[in-house]
Chains A and B, each alone.
Chain A
Amino acid sequence: MHKNASMYEKLYTIRQFEILLIEKFPTGIFPGTTHTSLGQEANAVGVLSHLDAGDIVVSNHRGHGHFLAYGGDPRALFAELMGKPSGVCGGIGGSQHLHWRNFYSSGIQGGTLAMASGMALAEKEAGSQNIVVDFMGDGTLGEGIVYECLNIISLWGLPILIVLENNHIAQTTQVEKAVAGSIPERFEAFGLPVEHIDSSDILEISPRAGRLMGEVRAQKEPRVLIIETARLGTHSKGDDTRTPQEIELLWQARDPVAIQGARLLKEERDRINLQVEEKLQSALKYAMENEEAA
């Protein structure tokens, strides 16, 4: 598969996973709640396609896409969301608390940046080539611990790439009502170099993320990647106060799956779609038919 098609397949896998999740939620097979990353798939794939084997990923409450882009098994993620022992964390973690290999997520805003900083410090102390990639959102910028960590990350030169996915909305609160001043300058004030992308196109995100990760690895220094992006879905299952028109405009302008899909011939796109849909249907079935919840 050529590179454009392979990137599309990864984007569509995340999209289709979460579409299935949303579709099946009302049937009651997934307890609790979930946050989807519709519209932000290109951030996950664009950044995480540059990982080396020993690299560490720290994700957040909106982390399914990160997990799948990291290489996580959709069957184990479906099972986790169903609360089953065969899930990523045996059903204990649910949607927001995942750990597999070097992937970690948690549901508390900002606190995970401290965990990520500690992990980066451990790699630095060990003299390894591994780096840490930490995802946060614009809403996370309200948490005080973020600034404690930015200060220390810069002071100690920790090998970490912070990826700020600015989807311009924190649950229902627009970024304009929550973040004063300039977001890049918040990082720059700590002496952290910032790369700023306003795009949902994986071909714009991926090369720049790759270059930054190379710099973190080679120079053992932190970098920040701010991606202006769009949340095309609700915060969790059904809470969105934006107007349908506003959301429709975002779908038209900022859908990373459509943007990348347009680069493929229809026939190829349809073939990939079908393969991905079959694979995820089978993953869902596998998770459902596997043992019952503990």
Chain B
Amino acid sequence: MKSEKSLTVLDSLNLGLQRAFQDDMRAILLGEDILDPYGGAFKVTKGLSTQFPDRVLTTPISEAAIAGIAGGLALRGMHPVAEIMFGDFSTLIADQVINHIAKFSEVYQTDTPVVIRTPMGGRRGYGPTHSQTLEKLFLGIPGLTVLAPSHILGENELGGPGKLLYDAITDFSTPVFFVENKLQYLLKLLTLADLEEFDVRTYDIPGNLRSPITHFAIQSAPKASLTVTAYGYMAHLALEAMHQLAYEHEIFCELLVPTRLAPFELEPLFDSVSRTSKLLAVEEGTLSMGWGAEVLARTSEALGAGLKMTSRLGARESVIPAAPDLESGCLPGVKDIITRVKEMVGK
């Protein structure tokens, strides 16, 4: 099966936004530099202000107010979408997200349908304050759902990322922190035809929002000796590593790609690790107190002695340098994943 047009993650997110604004008159967009013809720093919002001029508001450089105003809109029945231009700037919205928006639903006993979108990630040479992967700061906040799209086409014409965003905007009553990734924007959505060497299964995790976790295995391969988990752009690199490991090193892995990072719901991962007994968690953020640490802890709690070996890969615990060669030395890549997997399986 080959898709008619070859959508990128960026196209899919843009389509998801457009469709949400067509279908949901309560949707309203706030962000910096989002008006056409510019259409946002990464163009996710391109076209929106032309199609929906009354519901797309460009703002001053005031991230905290953007987030807080989105919270107030949501309390009064709107479906706000706030764009934070760079994920690094999400530190500026922390009070609004943690002390206000994430608490409203429970304290005020009311719906708070806020979606805050932001691109994380490096490998663009943007330097220490425009390259970080900071979503771990927002994991484990009660009342806040953290989503990260995967570059898989999905069943919907919007594509997986667009569908995830569409559902978060139109059909979810509590706040969402929607983590995009700058390099992931450029990825073509994978169709089943692209993935014919893989056995692909998708699980829906419990909850009101359809946020699948996808399981990849090599087609007709021997029993996998290790489970890898990664999300967002790192899932793309992990899939590439998994392919090379199979075809060049005869090491077979299973890969689990969640799209909901928090609250944590990892049953399909536990199933895989119960077969392989080894788990590698890969993320682009720094490791300390990170997503992978929590995944490993939960897997260990779930499987006990069934989990025999764990490892994590992430960014070096330093600032992210601007110089491209220094930056790439700082962030985990395909080679790093391959090397670590080989170590873990003793090859």
Task: Of the listed stretches B7-15, B74-82, B243-251, name the one at the interface; the rest are far from the partner chain.
Answer: B74-82
Q: How far is the CA of A69 from the CA of B279 in the complex (A)?
A: 59
B99 and chain A: residue at smallest CB distance: A108
Q: Given A89-B108, A89-B109, A111-B99, do A119 and B60 touch, yes or no (CB 8 Å)? A: no
> Chain B interface (Cβ within 8 Å of chain A)?
28, 54-55, 57, 59-60, 62, 64-65, 67-78, 80, 95-96, 99-100, 103, 106-110
Task: Of the listed stretches A34-42, A120-128, A176-184, name the one at the interface; the rest are far from the partner chain.
Answer: A120-128
Q: Given A115-B100, A155-B60, do A122 and B95 touch, yes or no (CB 8 Å)? A: no
Residue contact B62 to A118, C-beta cutoff 8 Å: no
Q: What are 27 A-B residue pairs whose CB atoms fall within 8 Å in the complex?
A: A56-B76, A93-B107, A93-B108, A97-B108, A99-B107, A99-B108, A99-B109, A99-B110, A108-B95, A108-B100, A111-B64, A112-B100, A114-B64, A114-B69, A114-B72, A114-B100, A115-B75, A118-B68, A120-B72, A125-B28, A145-B64, A145-B68, A145-B95, A145-B96, A149-B65, A152-B59, A152-B60
A120 and chain B: residue at smallest CB distance: B72
A123 and chain B: residue at smallest CB distance: B76
Residue contact A115 to B68, C-beta cutoff 8 Å: yes
Q: How far is the CA of A117 from the CA of B59 in the complex (A)?
A: 13
A93 and chain B: residue at smallest CB distance: B107
Residue contact A89 to B78, C-beta cutoff 8 Å: no
Nearest CB in chain B: distance from A115 CB, A: 4
Q: How large is the interface on A (under 10, 10 to 19, 20 to 34, 35 or more residues)?
A: 20 to 34
A144 at the binding interface (Cβ < 8 Å)? yes
Residues of A contacting B109 with CB < 8 Å? 89-90, 99
Q: How far is the CA of A104 from the CA of B71 in the complex (A)?
A: 12
Q: How far is the CA of A156 from the CA of B54 in the complex (A)?
A: 12
Main secondary structure of the interface of B (DSSP, over half): helix
A268 at the binding interface (Cβ < 8 Å)? no
Residues of A contacting B70 with CB < 8 Å? 118
Q: How far is the CA of A114 from the CA of B66 in the complex (A)?
A: 8
Residue contact A118 to B99, C-beta cutoff 8 Å: no
Residues of A contacting B55 with CB < 8 Å? 125
B60 and chain A: residue at smallest CB distance: A151
Residue contact B60 to A118, C-beta cutoff 8 Å: no
**Which residues of A (67-99) have their CB < 8 Å from a CB of B?**
89-90, 92-93, 97, 99
Known: A104-B108, A111-B95. 19 other contacts (CB 8 A): A56-B76, A89-B107, A93-B108, A97-B103, A99-B108, A99-B110, A111-B64, A111-B100, A114-B69, A114-B71, A114-B72, A115-B68, A116-B72, A118-B68, A118-B73, A121-B73, A145-B68, A151-B62, A152-B59
Q: How far is the CA of A155 from the CA of B68 in the complex (A)?
A: 16
B101 and chain A: residue at smallest CB distance: A115
Residue contact B69 to A152, C-beta cutoff 8 Å: yes
A260 at the binding interface (Cβ < 8 Å)? no
Residue contact A114 to B76, C-beta cutoff 8 Å: no
Nearest CB in chain A: distance from B177 CB, A: 17
Nearest CB in chain B: distance from A180 CB, A: 21
